[in-house]
Amino acid sequence: MNQTFAEKIIAFNQTLKFTGKLPPGFQVMNPFADNPETMKVMSEFYGKYYDDLNQRKFIIGINPSRHGAGVTGIPFTDTKRLEAVCGIQMNSAKTHEISSVFMYEMMEEYGGVDLFYRKFFINSPFPLAIVQKTKGKWLNANYYDNKALFQSVKNYMVDVLQTFISFGLDTSEVFVLGNKNSVFIHQLNQENNLFEKMTVLEHPRYIQQYKSKEKQIYLDKYILAFENET
C-alpha cells in the first residue's frame, strides 16, 4: 500500500537534521529535536490535512522563523493559528508570528484550510530555523543572508527539494514566496531542473511589515495565483 502524504512528511521530519558546517555566528534550531511536543502537534496536523494520496502544488518559503515553524514544526503556523484555526493545542509554547497571520487570512479567503491544504504543500528548501548571533543576541536569519552560509547549505537544500518532490508534488508550477528567495530558487532550479514554471509572490512578512495598508491587494494576488488549482 502506498504511503500517504502525511506518512511521508512525518517520517521526513522524524529524521530531519543538518550536519553540515555553518559559518561562525550561525546556528540551526531543530524544533523536532528540541521539543517533544513539536513532533506530536506536527504529526497531528499532517494526519488531519494530508492523510491522502493527492498530488499537490508546492509553495516554497525561505526557512522557518523561531516563532512559527521553528516552534510548531508546521510552516507559517504559529501556536495561535494552530489552535484557533486547526484545532490543535500546543501546551509547551505560545507564539505569534506575523507571516502566519497573513497566510491564514489568505487560506480563509481561498476557501478554508481544509481545501487549501488538500491542494497545496508549504515548506522550505532549508526546513530548519537559522539564527545568527548579533550584538550578543540570537536573531532569525535567512539562508541567503550570507554568501558563505548559502554555500554551506546549498547542496542540502537541493536534496530537501528533491525529497519533497518525491512525495508526489506537481512540478509543473511552483510558487516561491519572497523576491530575494526567488533569485536563489531560480538558480537551484536552473542547475537541477526541479520545476517547469516559477510564480513569485511577495513574502507574507514583507506584506505585513511594509504593505499592511494594501494587504487586501496582496491577498487578492495570492488567490488569483492559486485560483487555477481550485
pLDDT score of 1: 65
Q: Using one digit for the tens of pLDDT, what is the confidence trace for 13-60?
A: 999 999 999 999 999 989 898 899 999 999 999 999 999 999 999 999
Q: Using one digit for the tens of pLDDT, what is the confidence trace for 79-131?
A: 999 999 999 999 999 999 999 999 999 999 999 999 999 999 999 999 999 99
Report yes or no: 36 and 139 within 8 Å, Cβ to Cβ. no
Is residue 174 within a helix (H) or strand (E), and if so which, with residue range?
strand 169-177
Give the helix ranges, DSSP H, for the chain: 5-14, 31-34, 36-49, 69-72, 79-84, 98-110, 113-119, 147-166, 179-192, 204-210, 215-226
Q: Given phi > 0 = left and psi -120 to 50 = alpha, else beta, which region is 23?
A: beta
Separation of alpha carbons 178 and 169, rounded Å? 21
Mean pLDDT of all residues in the chain?
94
pLDDT grade, residue 230 (50/70/90)? Answer: very low
pLDDT score of 167: 96
Q: N- to C-terminal Cα distance for the chain?
A: 28
pLDDT at 12 over 80: yes
- For residue 57, the SS3 value is strand
pLDDT at 225 over 80: yes
pLDDT at 229 over 80: no
pLDDT score of 132: 93
Task: Taking residues 161-165, report their average pLDDT.
Answer: 98
DSSP label at residue 134: E
pLDDT score of 49: 98
Question: Which cell goes with 4?
Answer: 500517504
pTM: 0.94
